[in-house]
Structure formats: C-alpha cells, structure tokens
Chains A and B, each alone.
Chain A
Amino acid sequence: MSIDKATVAHIAALARIRVPEADRERLAGELRKIVAWIEQLDEIDTTGVEPMASVVEMTTPQRPDAVNDGDCRDKVLANAPAASHGFFTVPKVVE
C-alpha cells in the first residue's frame, strides 16, 4: 500500500504530532520516496537470517536490588512546565 494523505494522518496521530491538512500531501510524497528507496532491501534474500538483537555480544547485566536513587522530588519537578502540590499536572484526562 502506498503512503497517502490518510496514512500520514494516521501515523501522525500515532506519533502525536499535529500535521495540518495542508502539509499532508507534501509529506506523503516525501515519505513515499523514502519508503520506495528503503524497499530496495527486498533484493536481499534474508531467509533463515536471525534479526540482529544487538551489536554487543553480551547479555543484559543485572543489578542488585538496592535503593540508591529517587527521593529527589524537587529535582524531578524542577524542569516541569506545570506542577502543583508535588504532582506534574496536565489537562484533565477523561477515562
């Protein structure tokens, strides 16, 4: 399926980026071009190839269960655009 305006609107919504109607056609064109270009990977036979998990040939390290962070509310809130009574605040969410 080719990328059209509706695709752009859909992925922009998933990514929570407002894309004005007027920009969607242009973006669709740009993304179409890029996607067509990356589709050259189809030329490569990858049957039986395990997708790369990481370039680091290690397993994930595990840390001990110790409390050595947190307890720094002022630091955590210092950069907040809006905070009140020790909470971050956002426009009301309706569940």
Chain B
Amino acid sequence: MELCDLTIAQARDGLGARRFSARELTEAHVKAMEVARGLNAFITETPERALIDAARADVRIAAGDARALEGIPLAIKDLFCTEGVLTTAASHILDGFKPPYESTVTAKLWAQGAGMLGKANLDEFAMGSSNITSYYGAVRSPWRRRGDDRPLVPGGSSGGSAAAVAARIAMAALGTDTGGSIRQPASFTGLVGMKPTYGRCSRWGIVAFASSLDQAGSLTRTVRDSAIMLRAMSGHDPKDSTSATLPVPDYEAALTGNIRGLRFGVPKEYRVEGMPAEIEKLWQTGIEWLRAAGAEPVDINLKLTKYALPTYYIIAPAEASSNLARYDGVRFGLRVEGKSIEEMYEATRAEGFGDEVKRRILIGTYVLSAGYYDAYYLKAQRVRALIAADFKRAFETVDVILTPTAPNAAFAVGEKMDDPLAMYLNDVFTVPISLAGLPAISVPAGLSSEGLPLGLQVIGRAFDEETVLRAAESLERAANFTARPPVLS
C-alpha cells in the first residue's frame, strides 16, 4: 500500500512497528504535493519544515516516546496563524503577514508530534462555498464527473484542505467551519469533515470571520482519524473567552461500533425543494443503515430550517464587517498609500478585499447601521434563539440527527458563480447547526449518478461529539465508501 493512502491510524501503527519512518512518510507526501500542484491546494508550501518535523518525530519514535500525531504530516488551512510562516486568509490584504504567534489549535497539533506540509488555500477570509474567492486562485477538486473533464470546485471555504486530503497530499487537514466550511467540502470530496461544538476548540489565533460561529475542525479520510484529530485539537484555552472548560474525552475510545438503541432524528424540513432525488435516496439509505445497526429513527420537526440561511446572512456579515475593520493598512498587511489617512483606508481596503468579502462587509455594515439594527440584526438574533431552541427540543427525544450534508454534489468551476444567492444555498443543511453551535460531521456515503461523492451529516447535542463520532463510524462502515478521485488512478 502506498504511504500516501494510509490513514492516520494506519500510519501510527506502521510508524510504531518501524515499517517506515516519519521521514519516509513525509517525503511521500511532499512528493505528492509537488505532483498535485495543479490543484492549487496550497498558498504556501513548507516542505523543509515538514521534513524537520519528521526528523524530530523519528527521534521520539526511536526513543519510544511517540505522541498521538507523531510524524503525521498535515495541511493547515491558511486561516490559522502560524508563527513566522506567511498567513494570508487567502486575501491580498494580508500580503506578507507573518504572525509573531502560533494559533492554539496548531500549537496543540505540533505538541502531539504532527508536521506541517503547508498552508492550505481557502475562500478569502473563509467566505465562500466553492473556494473560488481566494486571492491566490481557485482550488480544483481532484474529482471529476464521469466522462466530463471540466474541473470541479472542492467546496469551500476549506477547499484547499479538502483537496489536499482527498488527493492524498496530506494525511489530514485543519479546516474551519462557520456555516458549513468543513462539512460541505468534505461532502464534495468524499471526506470525513467534523465541526465540533462551538467552544470545543480554541479560536485564538484563527483569523476571525464571524466570531459567534467560527469553529476549528478537521478533514480526514476516516471517522477514526477524525476522532484522533479532535482529541489533539480540543481543550480549554484561557486565551479564548468562549472556550469551554470541559474535559476532553478520548474520542477514539468512543468508537465502539455499537449504536444499538440510539435514537436518531430525521427532520422532514430538510426535504427542500429542488433537491436531487439521488440525495433524498441516499438519505433514505442512511436511515436504513442506522436502523440495521440497531438505531431507531424518529421523525422530528425543525420548523425554522428554511430561515437559517437568511439569519446566517445577517449575523455572519455583521460580525465580519467589524472583524475585518482591523485590516486598515496601519499595522500589518497591504497598504495602498493615499494623501490622507481616509484615502489610505479606502484605497487599501478597496484593493485588498475581493468582491465577495466587500459584498459581505457592506451587507454587514448595512444591517448594523442606524435605523436597521433592530429590523435586521436583532431580528436575526431572535430567530437564531428560536432555531437553537428547536434543536434543543429535538434533542429531548433523539440522540443525534441525520441529514444530507449538502443539497447537491460538487459543481464545475464557473457554474453558479454569477448569483451570490444561489451559492449561499449550498449551506442550507449546514448553517442551522452552526447557528445553534452544535457538533456535526459529514461522512462520505455514496456517489452521485455522475460519480461524485455525496455526504451524510450527523448532528449531535452540544459537546457530545462522542455520540456523533460513534454514529458516523457506523454509517462509514455501512457505506463502505472506497471511491477514489480519478486524478489518483
């Protein structure tokens, strides 16, 4: 078996048994990164760094001192600040920015022995669902439709992370999920994408998009790898006031394979108009798989589902308009000179931000501005409270909820691009969960008629990632998703 095809769990065993070294494992991935450069999955490649990390890992392994991710090469979404390494958020406005600090989550990964292959491409400031808004160019998915060679989007915003893991460039990747930015690309590229509960992973050192929604997570090829990553990433951080003070369970130990008696909700509101029949069918199949494993389906109502997207498109841009005010050309990043400071601000921000980012800043500014705050922002926060209450009610009778991850498979670069609203609809199934701050995972469950991956989403109670992972593993086993991107064959 090729080294790049290994899962983290397999590599851990292989490294432990000295079947190969961390150096060999990393070299194989560095080579894959070079070969697959056409995907544009990385903004910054750091192969030298990865090899140094691997050499250190080999020393620890030799000493019998291996940690949870010892010698595992990862891709890091370029939204995480990495000390001394260019960090761009895929935006022109962060030109040349090298943070003098390391994000909490990446620091935790390094402390577990992981290595960094590079900083993965993304939608600019994580705003997008197709990874086409990056200043550094669109990412291409390693997948193709059957008999159609047009390049496809990997989903977004963690598109580079998804492409890298799907194309076997990285064993796993860090992503962030604000409204679906891990789960939707995971669904598009046949990966497991986990968004933990808001507050589970520290946001410190992650370039902020929408603070009340942003959450770090991982893209992996298996549920077990997802569990391994989550344990390494999680934990209370006194530097993040919204970080939960709960202990971190051993998520891998939660993968018992036993979901007998588990009650899972099936919300009928997720049968949205225009959803392809094959997605509806896949969902039904998923229900059968879980039932066959001994779980019990329960019809539930999540009445406000269709209002989640408009709610999200008030709250997220409002927070973003404020979070992105710091990009002013004074302390870091791009500056476009002007005769006055006002001119400098306006020129810098006009040139530094791309169209989608500007659009969201303007919307966010508008909904917060005098006379509109109550009608839009406060209204949205009230609806958000109702959406969260809907989930809370549902979880009184069920342990998890099963839905499709996205209403469609990956689309071609160029499709859906002229209409921002059509693009926003990609996140219709993921956004409600983000608004409620709940944990959710996307598991590859099958292929579309065109041969593209489709994912199912498992949603859990706040801080109950263990049950989510356990149910996801059950789905994974039943689905037995073995399809590989055509690029690899």
Contacts and interface: CB of A to CB of B under 8 A. Distances in A.
A46 B387 CA distance: 11
B343 A49 contact: no
Contact of B366 (A3, A49, A52, A79): A3
Secondary structure at the B interface, as helix, strand, loop or mixed, is helix
Interface in B341-382: 341-347, 349-350, 353, 358-359, 361-363, 365-367, 369, 376, 378-382
Contacts of A27: 359, 362
Contacts of A35: 363, 366
B379 A46 contact: yes
B100 interface: yes
A56 B244 contact: yes
Interface stretch (B7-15, B131-139, B286-294, B325-333): B325-333
Contacts of B385: 49-52
Contact of A81 (B329, B358, B362): B329
Interface in A22-49: 27, 30-31, 33-35, 37-44, 46, 49
Interface string B266-293: 0000000000000000000000000000
B436 interface: yes
Contacts of B376: 38
Contacts of B339: 91
A86 to B, nearest CB: 13
B359 A30 contact: yes
Interface stretch (B59-67, B141-149, B303-311): B303-311
A17 interface: yes
Most buried by B among A14, A16, A38: A16
Given A16-B346, A80-B331, A52 B382 contact: yes
Contacts of A6: none
Contact of A52 (B337, B350, B384): B384
A78 B321 contact: no
A37 B331 contact: no
Contacts of B380: 38, 41
Contacts, number: 161
A59 to B, nearest CB: 10
Interface residues of A, number: 50
B274 to A, nearest CB: 16
B361 A15 contact: yes
Nearest to A57: B462
Contact of B341 (A8, A61, A91): A91
B310 A33 contact: no
Interface in A55-85: 55-56, 58, 60-61, 63, 72, 75-76, 78-82
Contacts of A33: 420-421
A78 B186 CA distance: 37
A43 B310 CA distance: 12
Given A50-B385, A90-B330, 17 more contacts: A11-B365, A11-B369, A14-B365, A31-B366, A38-B310, A40-B307, A41-B307, A41-B379, A44-B304, A44-B386, A51-B381, A55-B198, A55-B388, A58-B199, A80-B330, A80-B331, A91-B339
25 contacts: A3-B366, A16-B346, A17-B346, A17-B353, A17-B361, A31-B366, A37-B313, A38-B310, A38-B311, A38-B314, A41-B307, A41-B314, A46-B383, A46-B386, A49-B383, A51-B381, A52-B384, A55-B199, A58-B199, A58-B242, A58-B245, A76-B100, A82-B335, A90-B344, A91-B338
10 tightest A-B CB contacts, nearest first: A55-B437, A51-B381, A79-B332, A81-B335, A75-B100, A46-B382, A18-B350, A18-B346, A16-B345, A52-B385
